[in-house]
Amino acid sequence: MNTPKFIGLDNYTRLFDGTDQYFYNSLAVTFKYVILRVPLGLIFSFIVAFLLNMEFIRGKSIFRTIFYLPVIVPAVASSMIWIWLFSPDLGLFNSFLEALNLPTLNWLYSEETVVPSIVLMSLWGMGSTIIIFLAGLQGVPRSLYEAAIVDGAGAMRKFLHITIPMMTPIIFFNLIMGSIGAFQVFTEALIMTQGGPNNASLFYNYYIYREAFLFGEMGHASAIAWILFMIILIVTAIFFRTSKSWVFYESEV
Amino acid sequence: MKKAKRLNALALSAVFTMTVILTACSSNEGSPENQNGIKPPKEGEQVTLKFSFWGDTIEKKTVTEALKRFEQETGIIVEPMHVPSDYLTKLTTMVAGNVAPDLGYLSSGAALSWAEDGKLLNLTPLIESDPDFKKEDYLDQIWYDYAPGKTIGMSTAVEGYGLMYNKDMLLDAGVELPPTEAGKAWDWDTFIEYSKKLTLDDTGKNALDPAFNPDKIKQYGFQYDPYNMMAAVVSNGGNFLTEDGTGFGLTEPEAIEAIQKLADLMYVHHVSPTPLQTKSLPDMALQTKKVAMTVSGNWALQAFAEQDFNLGVGVLPKLKESNTLLDGAPTVIFSSTKHPEEAWLLYKYMADPESVLPLIAGGLWMPLKKSWYTDPELISKWASGNKAHPEGYTESFMKQTLENGIRTPGFEVKNLTKINALVTPALDLVWTGKETAEQALKGVEPKVEPLIQGYYGR
């Protein structure tokens, strides 16, 4: 909190040479979260969107509203609700497991389960991704399906050879946005776990917050934030590189 | 008819004039140029101070009213800034942006390190040049010195720790009530025995019964936030750092023993809920008879007084000696203030128990002045005869805190926030029963040692 002094790259060397004991830990925790949450999030929202797009489903707008609703709930409020759902003694999840005679979990309160628990909670709030997928699904030209039916294609083939390729730009968009969002996970750690237990949910952004506002190390926190920026930049760049080989744009044919 | 009309006109114009005057008043009230009423203490410009603080609705109300009274008595305008949550985040941002308030509450760790960085005012010159203020009138333990002879002031309030319990539950179980005098404090074995008697499983057997089922406890004898373990550590003669300030005190035998004894309450004696089980307990665990006894700081009395049960208080059970913890975050003056003298006036005013009496009588705070602990007339204003201060309070909390209150590490340990960032995860392992106190604390010791920088003010 004193007047800034120029110290060159000291803040960065402190991170990489291990003087700062939390840097690698928080990177590991964050990557674990991203790796779990991004694919699961994409698959989950795609499935929900696909089901919502089925012709036989009645009252689509109601379901759409239900799935979108969590997005409107402020993150702090939903975190409070989920704290109760995750409660080891009184929580809904553990009552459920107990009713099925399965062993109960400590959810947010054990090092092994805290990140998966937060991933589970984040799936609940995937409304925007679902809506974008849904819009994409509705944009797939009917003529393609009709042509496929004429050619004798079954449901699986239609899905694999029409739906998926036509959806790749949307999947690509959601992949990028989802990864960026996942790297910046923060509120859950702040409200529900404060980085605990034993730093097992010390997400990168929470780590920045802690350095800046609890330890008062503004310069150090800024250095950490720059590294996050670089990480996101590199990850996004990699996705863009690979996109040429799997993303299909109709206009480019 | 004409007369009536004239009367009407008169009434109308009266109302009109009144409105104009009233409007003028209300618009003037907030403006710094207010010259009506009280004369400002200095010629020329009107002084405005910004006072930042946290707290629940009751604290907000009392503090705001005290600030208003100060305004009326001195003519110095005070802008209250109540920050209900994320206080330190807000203050850090303000200080970093050079728009800090003039004075306000601050958490102890930030306060001492900001003082070293010159962000807070050294109050020693102001205290020494003030004939009306005597340092000796205030408790000795509450001063936050950041270097020898340099202080950022006092803790905002005094918070002593003690035992609080539901009297009916103890009487029902036939347990003698906890002593209120330091000399008669329960030793640890007595305490465990009574706690066992008060711990019941779902069939109503207590923890002394060999058939007691520790997996189905429906009433706990004793509940206590283990992260306040310093109370047990100091009672066993230990402390956070070694006496000379160079070593990690929590790995000394006294501290390890005390911490292990607390963990054993959960995992060996089964009289205390684990941190996980605590998450499922209601806030009103004493009233709802989920818990018979608890240890907390004085502030808990405010909430207990609003609940409907027979509250009792006693001194803490002792390990080696009977003492207690004394806690309290400081109120500080920021060095960026343009009006240090006026800020000091307000500082003194808020430190006077009389100014914030509702909070003290309500059980949230204990007063800063010694006379309020010794003068029977002043004591009767807060520490007895109300629901927040049950019988025995004056002995078990008031006297104990004054005479045997040991400061929490926050008052004097350097670099505490960073040390705790390592110690808390290690203690997580103890409180969840994964490691013994010795394993966990010795395990983290090599990482803690480079961060130890000794004590402030010594």
Closest CA to B234 of B389, B367, B400, B355: B400
**pLDDT at residue number B3:** 52
Instruction: Tell me the pLDDT band of B334, cut-offs 50, 70 and 90.
Output: very high
State the Cα–Cα distance between residues A209 and A187, nearest whole angstrom.
Answer: 11
Q: Select from B92, B422, B447 the Cβ nearest to the Cβ of A216.
A: B92
**pLDDT at residue number B287:** 92
Q: Write the CA distances from A9 to A6, A16, A84, A193, A216, integer angstroms.
A: 9, 11, 44, 32, 19
For the cut 80, the answer to whether the pLDDT of residue A160 exceeds it is yes
| B447/A contact by beta carbon, under 8 A | yes
pTM score, two decimals?
0.81
Instruction: Tell me the pLDDT band of B368, cut-offs 50, 70 and 90.
Output: very high
Q: Which two tokens stand for residue B301?
A: 């009395």
Interface test with A, best of B119, B202, B276, B423 (most A CBs within 10 A): B276
Enter the DSSP assignment of B46: P
**pLDDT at residue number B34:** 40
Nearest Cα residue in chain B from A217:
B92
Q: What does the pLDDT look like over A177-217, one tens digit per residue?
A: 999 999 999 998 998 888 878 889 999 999 999 999 888 88
Instruction: Tell me the pLDDT band of A4, cut-offs 50, 70 and 90.
Output: confident
Q: What is the mean pLDDT of residues B182-210?
A: 94
State the Cα–Cα distance between residues B191 and A43, nearest whole angstrom.
Answer: 56
| A187/B contact by beta carbon, under 8 A | no
Considering only residues A90 and A12, tell me which one the structure prediction assigns the higher pLDDT. A12
- Architecture of the domain defined by A10-248: Orthogonal Bundle (1.10)
Q: Which two tokens stand for residue A200?
A: 């097992």
| B216/A contact by beta carbon, under 8 A | no
Are B425 and A196 a contacting pair at CB < 8 A? yes
Helix, strand, coil percentages (3-state) for chain A, rounded to 5, are 75, 0, 25
Nearest Cα residue in chain A from B422:
A198
**pLDDT at residue number A195:** 86
| B118/A contact by beta carbon, under 8 A | yes
For the cut 60, the answer to whether the pLDDT of residue B219 exceeds it is yes
**Residues in chain B, how many?**
458
Which residue do the tokens 């818990």 mark?
B291
- Contact between residue B214 and residue B201 where contact means Cβ atoms under 8 Å apart: yes
Interface test with B, best of A109, A112, A193, A218 (most B CBs within 10 A): A109
Question: How many interface pairs between A and B have CB atoms less than 8 angstroms apart?
Answer: 58
Percent of chain B with pLDDT over 70: 90
Q: What does the pLDDT look like over A23-77, one tens digit per residue?
A: 999 999 999 999 999 999 999 999 999 998 887 878 888 888 899 999 998 888 8
Q: Burial level of A49, CB count in 10 A (0-12/13-18/19+)?
A: buried
Instruction: Tell me the pLDDT band of B25, cut-offs 50, 70 and 90.
Output: very low
Q: Write the CA distances from B91 to B84, B86, B180, B245, integer angstroms.
A: 12, 9, 40, 29
**pLDDT at residue number A75:** 84
Are B96 and A218 a contacting pair at CB < 8 A? yes
State the Cα–Cα distance between residues A95 and A104, nearest whole angstrom.
Answer: 8
Nearest Cα residue in chain A from B425:
A198
Angle in degrees, CA B340, B344, B346, rounded to 5: 120
Considering only residues A240 and B9, tell me which one the structure prediction assigns the higher pLDDT. A240
| A132/B contact by beta carbon, under 8 A | no
Domain boundaries, chain A: 10-248
Instruction: Tell me the pLDDT band of A226, cut-offs 50, 70 and 90.
Output: very high
Instruction: Tell me the pLDDT band of B23, cut-offs 50, 70 and 90.
Output: very low
| B114/A contact by beta carbon, under 8 A | yes
Q: Write the CA distances from B457 to A163, B435, B454, integer angstroms.
A: 71, 35, 10
Nearest Cα residue in chain B from A106:
B276
- Contact between residue A200 and residue A115 where contact means Cβ atoms under 8 Å apart: yes
Q: What does the pLDDT look like over B127-142, one tens digit per residue?
A: 999 999 999 999 999 9
Considering only residues A109 and B161, tell me which one the structure prediction assigns the higher pLDDT. B161
For the cut 60, the answer to whether the pLDDT of residue B16 exceeds it is no
Q: Which domains does chain B have, with CATH numbers?
A: 48-158+328-351 (3.40.190.10), 159-327+397-451 (3.40.190.10)
For the cut 70, the answer to whether the pLDDT of residue A92 exceeds it is yes
State the Cα–Cα distance between residues A153 and A146, nearest whole angstrom.
Answer: 10
**pLDDT at residue number B40:** 45
